[in-house]
């Protein structure tokens, strides 16, 4: 069985925050009947009415107020978790140790450093230009060009 609890929570929240089924559905980009059915399924699943419906609009029940507050905390935690993961994936961070021959480094690497550093401000570059062989492990080199 597909678990739609987060979707139902989002629909409920949109209905409440936008003051009705039509506006809530529009805010989410779904149809009004979809929003109505989603809220009905949610209320049936948890066994309580979350909103009082009338021709003049809707009003939260006491349970609806508690569910809205709990849902806001859950959605904020979910947004924070996703944001942290997205940010860590999107932005490279840390030290990068490079070793290269002097002529190659001056000709090919050094001219490209400003652009690289602009694109990746959280990366700290340590570059060693030498014509001698280096030990990747002993010298803690991430990238060696020979």
List pLDDT tens digits, range 101-134: 999 999 999 999 999 999 889 899 999 999 998 8
Instruction: Give 94-144's CATH code, choosing from 3.40.190.10, 3.90.420.10, 3.40.640.10, 3.40.630.10.
Output: 3.40.190.10
Domain boundaries, the chain: 5-89, 94-144
At a CB cut-off of 8 Å and minimum separation 6, what does 67 contact? 12, 46, 50
Q: Using a cut of 0.75, tell me whether the model's pTM lies above it.
A: no
- pLDDT, tens only, 63-89: 999 999 998 889 888 888 888 777 666
Closest C-alpha to 64, from 38, 45, 78, 43? 43
């Amino acid at each position: 069985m597909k678990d739609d609890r987060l979707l139902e929570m989002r629909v409920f929240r949109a209905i409440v925050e936008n003051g009705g089924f039509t506006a809530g559905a529009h805010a989410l980009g779904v149809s009004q009947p979809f929003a109505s059915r989603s809220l009905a399924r949610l209320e049936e699943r948890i066994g309580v009415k979350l909103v009082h419906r009338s021709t003049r609009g809707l009003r939260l029940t006491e349970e609806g107020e508690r569910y809205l507050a709990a849902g806001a905390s859950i959605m904020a935690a979910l947004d924070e978790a996703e944001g942290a993961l997205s940010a860590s994936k999107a932005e490279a961070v840390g030290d990068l140790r490079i070793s290269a021959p002097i002529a190659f480094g001056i000709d090919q690497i050094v001219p490209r450093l400003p652009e690289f550093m602009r694109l990746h401000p959280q990366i700290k570059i340590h570059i060693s230009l030498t014509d001698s062989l280096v030990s990747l492990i002993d010298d803690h080199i991430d990238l060696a060009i020979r």
